[in-house]
Amino acid sequence: MRSKKRALRVLHVCSEIFPYLKTGGLADVTGALPPALAKMGCDVRMLVPGFPDFVNPIQNKHLVAELPPRFGAHALRLYYGTLPQTGLSAYYIDAPGLYDRPGNPYIDIYGQSYGDNHRRFALLGWMAARLVEGFDFFWRPQIMHGHDWHAGLAFAYLQVLQRAKGEKLAGSVFTIHNMAYQGNFPGHVFGELDLPDDLFNPEGMEFYGQVSFLKTGLSYADKVTTVSPTYAREIHGGEQSCGLGGVVQRRDPDVVGILNGIDTQVWNPSTDDTLATTYNARSINGKKQCRLALQQEMGLRSQNTAPLFCVVSRFASQKGLNLVLGVMNMLLEKGAQIVIVGNGEHHLERAFSDYAHHHPQQVAVRIGYDEALAHRVIAGSDVIMVPSRYEPCGLTQFYGLRYGTLPLVHRVGGLADSVTDTTPENLMDKTATGFIFDHFDISAMEDAVNRAFALFSQPREWRVVQRQGMKQQLGWKHSASEYKKLYDEIRV
């Protein structure tokens, strides 16, 4: 009788997981990809810092190891438990002196980065290597999968461990969610990281005299993934490589782009209880009611003769919101309405708020982020604008597609990989899903906006494009299978 194949053991190392702790798209990925892998038969566990937002909800906690002081943590323990909702198993590092703080995971209440972030996240990486070494007698990962710079040092500690043991102990994957966030620290902190001196060199962790957590992962992981195929190509050089193009080129055979997915249960207009009414691709009329409800909620004039545009975004220069400001007058003159949700750079907050003050029936702005409000805004809008200067993957365009809200995007990164432009050819063969512009300037975005108005004036054709977008396979099944193939290549 053939023996049953044992499940592949995978450890995900990260600093955020939706819905417990989220500052950006990283949390959405780490909240959805591991459960998708578990459905494919992987034995998946998470490792996270002991932030209160993780510690409080974890159930069935028990102690795995109690350790002497390290990296500035005077009380240091490793616990294991279960994440509610997904039922996934998770380890968390109990080090209150490092993790139990006000503010978000990386900055204090005054918006300043914590001065010991290098030690806080070195501990995360060090603990990942300890789990590979066998700290948990009952479970040892065959694959260590780290996410973004916070997990970057895990690959250095694994490298040192395997060198000492003289054998490969686990395959390793490093996912770069955004090359711009590198976790760079002054070179003098290297002495606090408990790593051999020979790793601090241009082929390893050193980046113009600094210790770079992101470069460490890029240098030492078996495989490096980005969150879209186009972004994998873009980081080989130029602006989007953020100075690390040479390292990416050196690792080119091991760099893979895998497009993110979304949680299609959380983002599902047919079951979304935050909406005024539900709808789907076959029966899309409910979207009109969502539009009316959004206009009422935001104090906008009730109208259906011009499109309602929305932006749901961090207010950052990366997101191309200067282009949105550049087309605002055009949108208003053509009778459109605009709902903007987000926060960030104060000059953008003020500029959008000024428009809302002077045009209250056409422009509504909500400073801050509210998940339920984001659902209602996307469901009630006709077009969602994502004009990012660069975008490793992006998720809001997926939400727009899912909710029949046509994305208007700049052709970069994951935006280029997930939206099909409304060219005459694509409209004719019914593959179009949104509007794309190529050059990052106001003129190019205006052209895309004009095309949106032209299509909106043809309700039947608009409905065809909506339905095509809503039919896209946006979940994690395909992406998870691509990760599984990668794991199988490097498994121990």
Whether residue 187 contacts residue 193, with contact meaning beta carbons closer than 8 Å, is answered with no
Whether residue 163 contacts residue 95, with contact meaning beta carbons closer than 8 Å, is answered with no
HEC per residue, 168-236: CCCEEEEEECCCCCCCEEEHHHHHHCCCCHHHCCCCCCEECCEEEHHHHHHHHCCEEEECCHHHHHHCC
From the list 442, 379, 380, the residue with the least C-alpha distance to 410 is 442
Whether residue 405 contacts residue 384, with contact meaning beta carbons closer than 8 Å, is answered with yes
Residue 4 annotated in ligand binding: no
Which are the contacts of 390, defined by CB distance < 8 A and separation ≥ 6? 180, 234, 239, 240, 318, 412, 413
Structure letter (DSSP) for residue 476: S
Cα dist from 347 to 31, 109, 317, 353, whole Å: 32, 20, 11, 10
> Rounded to an integer, what distance in angstroms lies between the CA atom of residue 113 and that of residue 230?
31
> Rounded to an integer, what distance in angstroms lies between the CA atom of residue 460 and that of residue 450?
18
SS3 of 39, please? helix
Whether residue 207 contacts residue 233, with contact meaning beta carbons closer than 8 Å, is answered with no
DSSP labels for 228-272? SHHHHHHTTSSGGGTT-HHHHHHTGGGEEE------TTTS-TTT-
**What angle, 0 to 180 degrees and rounded to 10, lies between the N-to-C axes of helices 459-470 and 442-456?**
110
**Residues placed in the known binding site for ADP-alpha-D-glucose:** 22
**Residues placed in the known binding site:** 22
